Amino acid sequence: MNRLISILAGSQSQFINLTRMSIFIVMAWIGGLKAYQYEADGIVPFVANSPLMSFFYNKEATEYKVHKNPEGKTFQNNIDWHKENRTYIFAYGLGTVIVIIGILTLLGIWFAKIGLIGGILTFGMSIVTLTFLITTPEVYVPNLGGDFPTPQFGFPYLSGAGRLVLKDVIMMAAGLICASDCAKQILIKE
């Protein structure tokens, strides 16, 4: 057990680099998926309901519910609506920003000043994402009725979308760990 403790204690810098790589993988993958219709459609409830982002869209927040394409199924009239809404253009831009943040964070392995920026941006992006827990109704289980009253709905019962958003608490902390490690490296070099 003491050997394991010694190995773990001496591996912190490698684990921080693993954290940077993990952030990069998540950001590159999810950011890259923003170029695809199903992912762009999927973020509409978050963006449409966000006071920080809704201005990017042309349509009102409630309209998206009628034009939602379920994952794996598409309807041309919904795609046309999303084109008019600027759903896809926004998703391309957001995806690009997310991938860039991931790259900046990864570069912290070799370049502390760049990694510091990436870590801070990862933290900031996570804060924005976590605001969806306040602004987006779809993050909580809805009461859709049934044969008897739905026993668990609303806050604190997270839907699939809500569970996805809540994981950004980890990304937020990881961004701060990477940023603080880069800041420490910058101070050592000065």
158 bridge partner residues: 140
Question: What is the torsional sign of CA 111, 117, 123, 126?
Answer: negative
Written as tens digits, the pLDDT of the chain (190 aa) is 999 999 999 999 999 999 999 999 999 999 999 999 989 999 999 999 999 999 999 877 678 888 888 888 889 999 999 999 999 999 999 999 999 999 999 999 999 999 999 999 999 999 999 999 999 999 999 888 888 878 899 999 999 999 999 999 999 999 999 999 999 999 999 8
What is the CA angle 190-124-138, rounded to 5? 165
Whose CA is closest to 120, among 23, 1, 21, 48? 23
